[in-house]
Amino acid sequence: MRTPQRLLPLVEEGLVDEVLRQLMSGKEATVYVVRCGDEIRCAKVYKAAEQRSFRQAAVYQEGRGTRNSRQARAMDKGTRYGRQAQEEAWQRVEVDTLMRLAAAGVRVPRAYGLYDGVVLMDLLTDADGNAAPRLNDVALTEDQARAYHATMMDQIVLMLCAGVIHGDLSEFNVLVDARGPVIIDLPQAVDAAGNHAAADMLKRDVDNMTSYFSRFAPALAASRYGLEIWAHYAAGALQPAMPLTGRFTISERPADVAGVVREIVAVREEHELRQRYAES
């Protein structure tokens, strides 16, 4: 096919040898299948901010650092440079998060880098070698739905143990490759320790997954995995591969508000220290 304009720089620099075909077009990007030497990969080309239906809502950006004070001032003022810096930061989050999660053992595509608004990553395939379908395009038996749901709960726990919440998780941004579910689309990923809305976003991600799988396995609808997972995280007890029950009872004892505030302040101070260290 004819090489899209946005991919020409990657071809000229030798990062991509050939654009084979368009794979999909979504609310934030268009994905192409490309050849890089002997390997077949994906090139995710981000759409311009005004063309995306998914906006960079402030709730997702809370807790994110900027590379320097000049960028922060420009972003706050909404200058042309600031808008460009904000767009680059939004895109950089996905690559950084993919690498962070892959290192933590989460099933995400391997990312090779961000180049002029294009992310190069692995092409995920099914058992027949075809491009992996989205979860919403896969017909499931009840047993498969239960198994995939358990897998997704484990993956969400792994992500949270790494300090990350997807923030927009649904059946539309999970692929099913030859080994099962793989999480994709992470530019809006949330820092669990630095975002006030983290608990609500975690619960929403879990509820979205549970609601989808309960179409095939109705008994899942009564589960409360989101509340259970967050309770373990808030107590500092969340661990990868820990057994979950899907049951959660809200305590009627008076809340230790002062203790909760102290924990929040401590977590935020630790988060800010990590940011300052990363920016130094």
Helix (H, G, I), strand (E, B) or coil at 264: helix
Which has the closest alpha carbon to 68: 83, 89, 48, 92?
Answer: 89
Q: What is d(CA 43, CA 117) in angstroms, rounded to the nearest whole number?
A: 10
Percentage of the chain lying above the pLDDT 70 cut: 77
pLDDT tens digit string along 3-42?
999 999 999 999 999 999 999 998 789 999 999 999 999 9
pLDDT higher than threshold 60 for residue 53: no
| Residue 131 DSSP code | B
Which residue spans within the chain are E strands per DSSP? 18-25, 29-36, 39-46, 111-115, 118-122, 164-165, 174-177, 180-183, 190-191
CB 152 within 8 A of CB 173: no
> What dihedral angle (degrees, nearest 10) is formed by the CA atoms of 177, 181, 219, 249?
170
pLDDT tens digit string along 136-186?
999 999 999 999 999 999 999 999 999 999 999 999 999 999 999 999 999
Let me know if domain 5-279 sits in CATH 1.10.287: no
pLDDT higher than threshold 60 for residue 78: no
Range 119-133 average pLDDT = 96
**Mean pLDDT, all residues of the chain:** 86
pLDDT at 67: 54
pLDDT at 90: 79
Instruction: Tokens 């260290």: give the residue.
Output: 277
pTM above 0.75, yes or no: yes
Burial of 135 (0-12, 13-18, 19+ CB in 10 A): buried
pLDDT at 181: 98
pLDDT higher than threshold 50 for residue 262: yes
pLDDT at 74: 45
Helix (H, G, I), strand (E, B) or coil at 165: strand
